[in-house]
Amino acid sequence: MKEVLLVEDEPGLVLTMADRLRSEGYAVSTALDGDDGFRKASSETYDIILLDVMLPRKSGFDVCRELRDQGVATPILMLTARSQTIDKVQGLKLGADDYLTKPFEMPELLARVEALLRRQASSSAPVAATYEFGDVRVDVRCTEVQRGGQPISLSAREFQLLCYFLEHPGATVSRQELLNEVWGHRSVQSTRTVDVHVAWLRQKLESDPKHPKYITTIHGLGYKFQPTAG
C-alpha cells in the first residue's frame, strides 16, 4: 500500500482529500502545520508528500527546501492557490516535483499522484543531473535550461516533457505515451496537447523550429529525440 503524507491546514480539505485517497487504496497520514509536516516527513518514510504552500508555523516552501537539504527525496506535489502564479516556479526550484493549483478536482489530484508515483518507480535508474545537446544545456536539479549560454524560460510542463525526452534518447515515443507519462494517464487532455507542447519546445530549443533537428516527428508514430543530431 502506498503511503501518502498530506500536509494541509484546511480541515475540510484534509477530510475530503484523505477520504478520497483512502478510497483509492492509499494509506494517508496528515499534518496540519508546517512544523508537524516537516517532522513527519523527515522521520517517517512516505511514497509521496502532498504539501500545501500556505501553512501555519512553517511554509510549504520552507518544508520542501529543508526536506531536500536533508536528503529526503520523496516526491512532493505542492498545492498552491490560484493567485500564487510565482509559486510553481519557486516550488520546482526548491525541489518539488509537481504542483497543483487550488481549487482542484479530486480526479486531477489522483492523476498527479499516480503520475508522480509512476515516475518515481521508473526513475530508479540514476538520472543525470545535467544534459547537453547542441548549444542547449539542461540542469535537471535546478530546473534550468540554457541555450548558447542564455537562460531559457520553460513552463513546468515543457520542462517535464523535455526531461522525458532526455531520459529516452533515440527512442520513438508515441503521443499517447507522452500524454500518459508527462500528463498522467487519467489526464483529460488530448494528444493534440502533446503536439502543442512539442511545438513550443522546438520554438525555444531548435535553431530552425520548422525543420527540427533534435525533436523530430516520426510520421504516424510520434516523436524521437536525437541529442546527437547536431
Quote the CA–CA distance of 121 and 9 in Å, as a whole number.
29
Quote the CA–CA distance of 182 and 2 in Å, as a whole number.
21
Minimal distance, residue 32 CB to Ca ion, in Å: 10
Helix (H, G, I), strand (E, B) or coil at 161: helix
Quote the CA–CA distance of 16 and 8 in Å, as a whole number.
11
Minimal distance, residue 60 CB to Ca ion, in Å: 8
Closer residue to Ca ion, CB minimum distance, 39 or 147: 39
Minimal distance, residue 34 CB to Ca ion, in Å: 10
Minimal distance, residue 39 CB to Ca ion, in Å: 18
Minimal distance, residue 55 CB to Ca ion, in Å: 6
Quote the CA–CA distance of 152 and 182 in Å, as a whole number.
20
Minimal distance, residue 214 CB to Ca ion, in Å: 41
Residue 83: phi and psi, rounded to 5, are -70, -20
Grid look-up 520546482 returns: 92
18's enclosing H/E stretch is helix 11-23
Closer residue to Ca ion, CB minimum distance, 52 or 181: 52
Nearest CA-CA partner of 159 in 227, 221, 97, 211: 97
Alpha-carbon Rg for the chain, nearest whole angstrom, is 18
Closer residue to Ca ion, CB minimum distance, 9 or 108: 9
Closer residue to Ca ion, CB minimum distance, 52 or 98: 52
Q: Would you tell me which residues interact with Ca ion (CB under 5 A)?
A: 9, 52, 54
Quote the CA–CA distance of 51 and 123 in Å, as a whole number.
22
Report which residue's Cβ sits closest to Ca ion.
54
Residue 52: phi and psi, rounded to 5, are -70, 150
Closer residue to Ca ion, CB minimum distance, 10 or 114: 10
Closer residue to Ca ion, CB minimum distance, 9 or 24: 9
Closer residue to Ca ion, CB minimum distance, 54 or 166: 54
Minimal distance, residue 52 CB to Ca ion, in Å: 4
Nearest CA-CA partner of 223 in 204, 203, 195, 196: 195
